[in-house]
A and B are shown apart, each in its own frame.
Chain A
Amino acid sequence: MTARYSTWFCLTTGAMLLMALLLVIHAGVRTTADRLILRETTDLVRSLELTDLCLFTEASYTRHLSLADLRTPFQEYPLSLEHFPSGSLAAPPPYLTESHAPHP
């Protein structure tokens, strides 16, 4: 006898719920395990007196967002949509962005 559609539905949904549960457990385990690493990172931040995340290294005002200029919003203000709309249409010249880094 072939399986009913509802059996398939219940199995699929059940499997996905199980998967979701496993991921929740994964999140819990990882969060607990990472606590030590995060504490070490916080210590590094404290000893080096770091202020910012190294997310965008292309300009000083994006590398150190919180230390960016206060009074020149159109020049060096991280929340300005820089040079909009031209900035969203034209990319910087390729010789500025060409990466020599080994591709991982």
Chain B
Amino acid sequence: MIKVTHINKVYNAGRPNEFTAVRDVSLTVNLGEVTVLKGPSGSGKTTLLGILGCMVRPSSGRILLSDREITSLPERFLTQIRRETFGFIFQQFNLIKGLTALENVMAPAYPTGEKYAPLRARALESLALFNMGHKAAARVEWLSGGEAQRVAIARSLINNPAIIIADEPTAHLDTKLSHEFMAIVRQLKEKGKTILIASHDPIVYDSELMTSRIELRDGSVITPGSPA
């Protein structure tokens, strides 16, 4: 369970280009749920996603992860929590160019010091799960958009996280691939993963897979998905 209370995030505080990305947001995400953050671009979805995923520190407010206060933890612990608890699927996929699909999938597990052989086996398994086993040795820049995303999903799962966070996952996909993505979300949901998606794509937020929908506008929540 992730619970945030009265979260604010101000960028460039005190400077002329100061702006508030997230304004007094309080919400709870329960384990096993599939939550969608909906809203136009600039509504603060990505920032809120970053805060929920321990990637962005809020300017004020509190974050509780499984009843543990993590707002003021030092960077090292936050990194560890991020690595063990969250798997990220970025809008631009953010794969490391020039490396193979396999190397990209394995990268998040490197700091754990897991033995090479089992790690490689898990990474291949993870790629195979998304029908990417045959592309394991291919450099990521040679992959198509859909393939790149499946590599990014395989990468997000390598550390076996409880929560998957996806930022605009269908933004660079055509309709067919977007439906394929939703099939993967179903697969993950069936595995019991908690999923958080920021999207303004109807294919995503109108999907019957969503257990809660949170709408954002100008950094504030309009319709709370679940009572805070």
Answer yes or no: A and B touching, Cβ < 8 Å: yes
Using a CB–CB cutoff of 8 Å, the interface residues on chain A facing chain B are 1, 4
Q: What are 3 of the A-B contact pairs (CB < 8 Å)?
A: A1-B117, A1-B120, A4-B116
Roughly how many angstroms separate A4 CA and B120 CA in the complex, as a whole number?
Answer: 11
User: Chain B contacts of A4 at CB under 8 A?
Assistant: 116
Using a CB–CB cutoff of 8 Å, the interface residues on chain B facing chain A are 116-117, 120
User: Chain A contacts of B117 at CB under 8 A?
Assistant: 1
CB distance from B121 to the nearest CB of A (A): 10
Roughly how many angstroms separate A4 CA and B115 CA in the complex, as a whole number?
Answer: 12
User: Chain A contacts of B120 at CB under 8 A?
Assistant: 1
Please, which residue of chain B has its CB at the minimum distance from the CB of A2? B137
User: Chain B contacts of A1 at CB under 8 A?
Assistant: 117, 120
Roughly how many angstroms separate A6 CA and B116 CA in the complex, as a whole number?
Answer: 11
Roughly how many angstroms separate A1 CA and B116 CA in the complex, as a whole number?
Answer: 11
Roughly how many angstroms separate A4 CA and B116 CA in the complex, as a whole number?
Answer: 9
User: Chain A contacts of B116 at CB under 8 A?
Assistant: 4
Roughly how many angstroms separate A1 CA and B121 CA in the complex, as a whole number?
Answer: 11
Roughly how many angstroms separate A51 CA and B146 CA in the complex, as a whole number?
Answer: 82
CB distance from B116 to the nearest CB of A (A): 6
Roughly how many angstroms separate A101 CA and B117 CA in the complex, as a whole number?
Answer: 64
CB distance from B54 to the nearest CB of A (A): 30
CB distance from A83 to the nearest CB of B (A): 56
Roughly how many angstroms separate A4 CA and B117 CA in the complex, as a whole number?
Answer: 10
Roughly how many angstroms separate A1 CA and B119 CA in the complex, as a whole number?
Answer: 13
CB distance from A46 to the nearest CB of B (A): 65
CB distance from A48 to the nearest CB of B (A): 67
Roughly how many angstroms separate A1 CA and B117 CA in the complex, as a whole number?
Answer: 10
Please, which residue of chain B has its CB at the minimum distance from the CB of A5? B103
Roughly how many angstroms separate A103 CA and B71 CA in the complex, as a whole number?
Answer: 80
Please, which residue of chain A has its CB at the minimum distance from the CB of B116? A4
Q: Which 3 interchain pairs have the tightest Cβ spacing?
A: A4-B116, A1-B120, A1-B117
Please, which residue of chain B has its CB at the minimum distance from the CB of A6? B116
